[in-house]
Structure 1
Amino acid sequence: MNNDTFWQIIESVHHENDVNQALRTALSPLQTKDIAQFDELYTQNLRKLWHWDNWAFAYVICGCNSEYDFLDFCNWLILQGKNNIELFVKDPEALAEYPHMPYQDNLPAPYCDELDLVAGLLYEDLTGEELPYHNVVNFQPQGKKFKNKPKLLKAQFPKLFEKFWQKK
């Protein structure tokens, strides 16, 4: 399993209705060592996203106010693919015009629950052994914690604030 294969697998499942099941199905034919490597690559990508700057724009878009909400947001970001992640981290304002923003009850809902667990659970089902748990949530995000004052967030993310803030 290499980085290119990791992203090809993500690309193959990201538009499915049940992405967790689609990912499990995509990983199932692989050797267990490849499933373990996929899990490691997934965790590496989560840790790169685990930054206060990213949490700030997630907060503006969808009100992420807990580690688990932010984790589900990061799972959703990973599903958008390598190029989109690079774009969004470099220019979060691009999300204001992103055509694939999911909504639920007329509110932005860019979340994917438990996608980070799929490879580890599959590995355990196939081998009877657990992979090392790569707990991202218990780590302090990188960078400096953002201030959640609307005035500051509006100044930092004017397009995101305009599009998403009032819809929360």
Structure 2
Amino acid sequence: MSLETLLVFKSSYSNKFWKISVAENSFAVTYGRIGTAGTVRVKEFPSIEACEKEAYRLIESKLKKGYQPAEKLEQVVVESTMTESSFWQLVDRCGDYGEDSLDHMEWLVSHLSKKPVLDILIFDSIFKEHYAKSYQANLWAAASIAMGGCSDDSFDYFRAWILYLGKEVYYEAIDDPESLLPYLLLLQEQEGIPQLEELLFVASSAYEEKTGQEFEEYLKLYDQLMEEDDSGLGIDLDWDEDDEEGLRNMFPTLWEAFHENPL
């Protein structure tokens, strides 16, 4: 079952909305003052039937209290201000706050936590979209050369680090991993590594800071409201980490810089 109901309550002293979105055995309720993004809560049930029953009960309860179905053209809930452009702007801005990547992530979490929950979710959705696109064999090979080997987890954190470098660097790295050389050499000077695990949890940390709810609650809310299908995510490695000749031929510049002195 898929059900979405939007109700409003207007009087001389009140101007609010209430919306419920049902999907399988859970629903999300959004409520607040008309013209705002509102507050979101998710509840999970042991069965689809129990979820539907409670959803209809809540709808009937609201109607009895004087709520009315919202007009189709009525601007009740403010759309999210989080866009592709604002996502990259935030990634760029975080570099202005603090001395290192951890300081930057702290600022980003704090900044996002002041935004509506929907903005936090959409930020995460945009991040995950680009993060998935970076799941490529050639980038994994480049990471393996730079770090003298690269596990699954290390590649996850490597891809997050690439996103942290910004839009232009990210897209250029997708097309040509050797374009990362200047940033990798800078890390070598700083005795750092090209990994940023913290970026993977910026959105959920912002949600926790904003609401006080745990990571599991964030995942439920994200799955409820952000319809995504990552079933097609896969990779076919066309290189072997033990094939030094092959890796050198793939990325000669990276090989020259790091094969004897990996990060």
Common fold: TM-score over 0.5:
yes
Gaps of at least 5 residues in structure 2 are 1-81
Corresponding residue for 1:54? Answer: 139
Q: Distance in 2 between matches of 1:30 and 1:160?
A: 40
Which one has a larger percent strand, Structure 1 or Structure 2?
Answer: 2
**Structure 1 length-normalised TM:** 0.85
Is contact 1:55-1:64 (8 Å) kept? no
Q: Distance in 2 between matches of 1:120 and 1:145?
A: 34
Question: How much does 1:14 deviate?
Answer: 3.4
Distance 1:126 1:97, change over 3 A: closer
Distance 1:101 1:143, change over 3 A: farther
**Structure 2 length-normalised TM:** 0.56
- State which of 150, 155, 164 in structure 2 corresponds to 1:79: 164
Is contact 1:58-1:73 (8 Å) kept? yes
Which one has a larger percent helix, Structure 1 or Structure 2?
Answer: 1
- State which of 86, 97, 109 in structure 2 corresponds to 1:5: 86
Distance 1:146 1:99, change over 3 A: closer
Question: How much does 1:43 deviate?
Answer: 0.9
Identity of aligned residues (%): 26
Does the alignment pair 1:160 with 2:254? yes
Q: Distance in 1 between matches of 2:154 and 2:205?
A: 21
Q: Write out aligned runs for 1:31-110 (5 A).
A: 31-98=116-183, 101-103=186-188, 106=191, 109-110=193-194
Question: How much does 1:5 deviate?
Answer: 0.3
Does the alignment pair 1:142 with 2:226? no
Q: Distance in 1 between matches of 2:166 and 2:182?
A: 16
Is contact 2:138-2:177 (8 Å) kept? no
Q: RMSD value over aligned CA atoms? A: 2.5
Corresponding residue for 1:112? Answer: 196
Gaps of at least 5 residues in structure 1 are none
DSSP-derived class of the 1:102 partner: helix
Is contact 2:132-2:233 (8 Å) kept? no
Cα deviation 1:35-80 (Å, max 9, x = unaligned): 1110111111110111222111111111342111111111110011
Q: Which has the bigger relative contact order, CA under 8 A and spacing at least 6?
A: 1
Amino acid at match of 2:248: K
Question: How much does 1:145 deviate?
Answer: 4.2
Does the alignment pair 1:124 with 2:204? no
Corresponding residue for 1:151? Answer: 245
DSSP-derived class of the 1:151 partner: helix
